[in-house]
Structure 1
Amino acid sequence: MHWRAVTEEREEKLLSTRACLSRQSRGRAVPEEPCPVRTCFQRDRDRIIHAKSFRRLKHKTQVFIIPEGDHIRTRLTHTLEVAQISRTVARALSLNEDLTEAIALGHDLGHTPFGHAGEEVLSRIHPGGFKHNEQSLRVVDILEGKQGLNLTWEVRDGILNHTGPHLPATLEGQIVRICDRIAYINHDIDDALRAGILTSAQLPADCLAVLGQTHRERINNMVMDLISYNQDTAQIALSPPFQQAADRLRQFMFEHVYIGSEAKREERKAMHVVEFLYKYFISHPALLPDEYRQRSEAMGLDRVVCDYIAGMTDRYAISMFSDLFIPRAFSNIALEAGK
């Protein structure tokens, strides 16, 4: 018997009837011979971890652009926190932890450089608009490797619908959708406090009374609420009191951190970097890397330039902008002035 079959049988014996079992997967767009060791969802998780787009997340902004402190989150550390929280909830609810982890690890692969600032620019200037969840699906379907990662339907559905108007079809995907928000609200508060953008006294007391006073308490309480509230539900959700408090806290973060704070002043400059690069490569397609030039014939120039820009890390985008638009003599002057 294959080791995979043992794992699949264990899922059927131990997981909830609400769980998405590996053997019940709708499969892949291109059929493949199953792995003798890993289930289909374990295989998807591993493919995502080994993807170049996953490695690039370590140099992409979460909230604070090119943070000076070593402890400020990046898109990669955010992704790992989402995966950890999501796995804890899935395990406690006897749902499929492997499926949950695969979705969590892949949910932000399509994020632009400079976080939501980059997304806002591409959404405005790219003719087809831009949404990072749709780009994440595009990465795993088309852009990663030679022909995409060929992930299972359930993982792709979870990645696409981790945000936006539609819920994921699986409860595992719904867990990631909520745990993504639990992670970023709380770690963005932690980063804002560390950076001096907020003080603890500014945090809304009514929200903290429900969710918890500290970073650790809030995450623990929200996770426990998810677990206790969803023992037999057909849809994953926070309890109404916790959902209301979380929504209020998220709104507070938009008002005090995400929009107009000291931490966001550099975003306007970053947005110019993304826009200038996009327009430059539209006007100079011959300077695109070979793989993108080849794709442009079938996909259109606007589409491949958008893919190219979205895939950049913060520092690669800045380096590219500097090479294209800033005379080297100016850069040397700036370096001398900084000594």
Structure 2
Amino acid sequence: MTIREQNEQREHAVLEPWATFADSSAGRLRPMEPCPYRTCFQRDRDRIIHSKAFRRLGNKTQVFISPEGDHYRARLTHTLEVAQIARTIARALGLNEDLTEAIALGHDLGHTPFGHAGEAALDEVCSFGFRHNEQSLRVVDVLEDLNLTREVRNGIVCHTGRRKASTPEGRIIHFADRIAYINHDIDDAVRAGIIRENDIPQHLRKRLGETHGKRIDTLVTAMIEYGQRYLEIGMDEQMHADMMELRQFMFDHVYHGTAAQREEKRAKSMLRSLYEYFIEHPDELPDDYFVLQARGEALERIACDYVAGMTDRYSIAVYKNLFIPKSWNKIED
């Protein structure tokens, strides 16, 4: 018996019956020789961590565009926080922690530079629209061809939107993503001086908690208790309503029309310009993208892939190189 088979056997001994078991996976898009010491979900986690798209998350904006300070979240730190929250829930409920972690680490691989401002910009210019969850799936399926299991792929594309993931582990990510970003965005907004903790409605502070850590603990505990009671992923109606009210508070006071997004229009304009430039000059796309053209992919799809994959600073550098006269870069303030 290989180490992988021992691990698969151990899952049946320690996980709950409603968990997703590695040896019952629906498989991959293409057959792959099993690893002798890692389960299929452990292998997916490793393939995601070693991908180029995962490395780029460290230089992609979460909410605050080009923040001044070392403690603001980037897309990578958000991803790690989602993974930590999701693993805690999965472990407490006796679900597959490896599958949960793999989905969490891959859920935002397709996010654009400059956060949701970049997503909105590409959605406006691309005739086929742009959704970061769908782009994340395209990253793992096409752009990096990671050949992940169907359970991980399903969890990635279903982490947001109306469609529910097919596994309980995938459904955890839907909630863990919101728990993470609502609370860490509050933390960043307070640090930026946009809101104060006391600005959060008092009834929400009382029910969810008065600090970042207490709010996360309250929501995670609510999910664990709900899962233990109903053998399903969720939280009770009042707790979910409180979480969504807090989310709406963030949209009203931070995400829309505040100093947090003072650079949003510029970022969107820049990404639109980059997209349109590469549509007009496809010969200037990197060599990797000519492979997609050879497969018959539409040019606007390829240009969208390239711009979406850029980090914040790389997109700025490309924009400067293409649109800013070189002599202007030498002018001192």
- The answer on whether the counterparts of 2:226 and 2:232 sit within 8 Å (CA) in structure 1 is no
| TM-score, scaled to structure 1 | 0.97
Partner of 1:63: 63
- Matched pairs, number: 332
Q: Within the alignment, does 1:168 sit opposite 2:159 as a pair?
A: no
> For residue 117 of structure 1, what is the aligned residue in structure 2?
117
CA contact (8 A) 2:197 2:210 kept: no
Question: Any conservation in 1 of the 2:78–2:181 contact (CA below 8 Å)?
Answer: yes
Counterpart of 1:64, as a letter, is F
Structure 1 residue aligned with 2:108 = 108
Runs of at least 4 residues off by over 2 Å: 232-235
Instruction: Measure the CA separation in 2 of the matches of 1:153 and 1:294.
Output: 25
How many Å separate the matches in 2 of 1:265 and 1:97?
39
Residue identity in the other structure for 2:75: R
Aligned 8 A contact 2:79 2:108 in 1: yes
CA distance in 2, matches of 1:191, 1:214: 13
Give distance in 2, aligned partners of 1:131 and 1:185.
20
CA distance in 2, matches of 1:323, 1:22: 48
Shift of 1:232: 4.2
Instruction: Read off the aligned partner of 2:265 and give its amino acid letter.
Output: R
Contact 1:80 1:105 in 2 (8 A): yes
Q: Deviations over 1:140-172 (max 9, x none)?
A: 00101xxx0000000000000000110000000
Where does residue 88 of structure 1 map in the other structure? 88
Q: How much does 1:235 deviate?
A: 3.0
Amino acid at match of 1:273: M
Displacement of 1:233:
2.4
Q: Any conservation in 2 of the 1:296–1:303 contact (CA below 8 Å)?
A: no
Asked if residue 246 in structure 1 is aligned to residue 243 in structure 2, the reply is yes
2:147 counterpart of 1:139: no
Q: Which amino acid aligns with 2:188?
A: D
Cα distance, 1:293 vs structure 2? 2.5
3-state SS in 1 of match to 2:195: coil
In structure 1, what residue type is equivalent to 2:26? R
**Residue of structure 2 equivalent to 1:303:** 301
Distance 1:163 1:263 in 2: 23
Q: 1:127 is matched with which residue? A: 127
Q: Distance in 2 between matches of 1:309 and 1:255?
A: 29
CA contact (8 A) 1:48 1:106 kept: yes
Q: CA deviation at 1:67?
A: 1.4
Identity %: 58
Q: What is the SS of the residue equivalent to 1:64?
A: coil
Moved more, 305-314 or 234-243: 234-243
With the length of structure 2 as denominator, give the TM-score of the two structures.
0.98
| 1:242 positional shift | 1.1
In the alignment, what sits opposite 2:289? 292
AA paired with 1:184? Y
2:21 maps to 21
Q: Does 1:273 align with 2:258?
A: no
Rounded to whole Å, the distance in 2 between the matches of 1:70 and 1:266 is: 19
Shift of 1:234: 4.6
Give the distance between the partners of 1:235 and 1:306, measured in 2 at CA: 37
- What is aligned with 1:315? 313
Q: Partners in 2 of 1:290 and 1:11 — Cα distance? A: 43
The Cα of 1:127 is off from its aligned counterpart by 1.1
Q: What is the root-mean-square deviation in Å for CA atoms of aligned residues?
A: 0.8
Q: Which runs of 5+ in 2 are unaligned?
A: none
CA distance in 2, matches of 1:232, 1:41: 27
